[in-house]
Amino acid sequence: MTVLEFAIFTLRTPHTPSSPTSPNTIYLIGAWDSVPAHNSFLASDENQKLLADAKGVIDVDVMYHAEMDGGAVPLGAPVVSVGRHHVKRGMKTGFEGCFGRVRGVLSGSTGAWEVAGGWRLDEGEGEEKGQEWLLFTGWESVTQHEEFGRSEKFKEYAEIREFLEGFEVRHAVRYDI
C-alpha cells in the first residue's frame, strides 16, 4: 500500500514564506511505500542531519500519513486546498457513501484539477482520536475555492457535514526551490 506523508512546518522569521494564508507555513507532501518505510527514513542519520541543520530555522508542527496515492494530489494546481475532515465515531461508512455521492459536485467545480482523498493512518501526538479523512483539491485561486463555498452547488456538497465533528481547510501554493 502506498501512503502519503503530510507534514506541516513553521518557518521562523525572516525565512521565505509559502502559504498564501499563513506565510510562515510550509506543507510537505511525500509518497512512501509504507509507514514503516517512512519511519525508517525519519530515524536515519541522513534525516537527523537535515533536522540538525534546520534547527532554529524550521519547526516540525505535525506529521502524519494517509492511505492514498501521492501522485493523485493536484500539485500542479495554482492553489491546493488541504481539508481535514474529523468524522464522527461510527460514521465512517456513512461518510464514505455520502462523499461518494457528492464528490462529483466538488470535482465539477474545480475545473481540470483533481480531487484526492484518503483516511489518516496514524494518530499524532496531541491530535484528537477518531477517524480523519484528508482531502486535497486543486483550485485556480483561494477566491475560486471561497466562491464554491458560497455557491448553490456547495449546499449539495455540504451533505457531508452531518457525518463530521469538525473540518479544517488550509491553502497551499507551490514553492519551487
Residue 177 lies in a domain: no
- Nearest to 115, CA basis, from 94, 85, 152: 85
Confidence (pTM): 0.82
Q: Hunting for cell 500500500 — which residue is that?
A: 1
Give the integer Cα–Cα distance in Å for 70 and 4.
Answer: 5
Q: What is the pLDDT of residues 112-163, one digit of tens each?
A: 898 999 999 876 544 445 589 999 999 999 999 999 999 999 999 999 999 9
Exposure on the CB side of residue 120, measured as CA atoms within 13 A:
23
Decide the pairing of beta strands 115-119 and 58-67. Answer: unpaired
Q: What is the pLDDT of residues 10-53, one digit of tens each?
A: 766 554 435 666 667 888 888 889 889 999 999 999 999 988 88
CATH code, domain carrying 114: 3.30.70.100
Domain region containing 135? 3-172
Domain count, the chain: 1
Give the integer Cα–Cα distance in Å for 110 and 4.
Answer: 22
Residue 168 lies in a domain: yes
- Nearest to 59, CA basis, from 90, 36, 28: 28
Residue 30 lies in a domain: yes
**C-alpha angle with apex 60: 55 to 65, nearest 5 degrees?**
145
